[in-house]
Amino acid sequence: MSGHTGRGGHTDRRRPVAVPLRLRSGAVLAITSVIGLLMLAWPLLLDVSPDAERVDPPFLFLLLLPVILGVVLAEMSEGGMDARVLAVLGVLSAVNAVLRLASAGTAGLELVFFLLILGGRVFGAGFGFVLGCTSLFASALMTAGVGPWLPFQMLVAAWVGMGAGLLPRRVRGRGEIALLAAYGVVSAYLYGLLMNLQGWPFMAGVQVPGQDSTEISYVPGAALLDNLHHFVVYTLLTSTGGWDTGRAITNALAIVLLGPAVLVTLRRAARRARIDPTLAPR
């Protein structure tokens, strides 16, 4: 058959690479990640001229990030995405969205990352990135929850999925579950931290005269360490104690208890989703 269907599966047919990461898409992902980090961490980086009367959060980024994400996703699906990959992507996004909806109501329970991590692990880093984006986007579409925060959530979730795909491949069995659970804890905290960083100036205000601010507000132009200090206090006070820890614990527990069974299921699906066709030479 054409090179189309066989793409990415030539070297090792047991290891599915659903969305192949070539040098080019790898480079695009790397640049996007840098842009994303800059946009998330702007409060720590922004340096303003001392005579500025007021500093507004850069609303421009809220408009720019969706465009960037669109470009990256187009690049990831460049050359056409196999129907099977697409179907698995759709189903996993839907399940993730439902898990997110169903678990958000229960206090401290948030199962967003559990399947995302396992999916990234089984289907690879490129797929994990796309799955992170589509899962959050699907859940936002379903709840009509599209908002300025969405592109940031999509980006950070995409990193989580991509990271899961980049974990060492060799580890299997109990070691694998332990590794994934640890990754689940780390990523839950990182997700909370980065989302807080982005929302901090919006929620706690910017500390300049004449504007609403508090003592843990972002101070434009202050030294990086000062702002970092303010931010750490803000994030400890607001979320680390509650949401983030709850999220970390439920994700780790879910991976330990459900992980083995779900991994088997996903690997079965992966096996069926990518079998190289063979046409005997005529």
Shortest CB 3 distance to other proteins, Å: 9
- Residue 102 has φ and ψ, to the nearest 5°, of -65, -35
Shortest CB 116 distance to other proteins, Å: 14
Contact yes or no for 118/262 (Cβ under 8 A): yes
Shortest CB 178 distance to other proteins, Å: 17
Shortest CB 163 distance to other proteins, Å: 20
Dist. CA 275–CA 146, nearest whole Å: 37
Please say which residue, 213 or 240, places its beta carbon nearer to other proteins. 213
Please say which residue, 61 or 152, places its beta carbon nearer to other proteins. 61
Please say which residue, 51 or 168, places its beta carbon nearer to other proteins. 51
Please say which residue, 78 or 182, places its beta carbon nearer to other proteins. 78
What is the amino acid identity at position 244?
D
| Residue with token string 């984006």 | 133
Q: What angle do CA 220, 221, 226 make, to 5 degrees?
A: 85
Please say which residue, 168 or 277, places its beta carbon nearer to other proteins. 277
Shortest CB 89 distance to other proteins, Å: 5
Burial group, residue 23, by CB count within 10 angstroms (0-12, 13-18, 19+): exposed
Nearest one of 164, 162, 138 to 150, comparing CA atoms: 138
Dist. CA 81–CA 21, nearest whole Å: 13
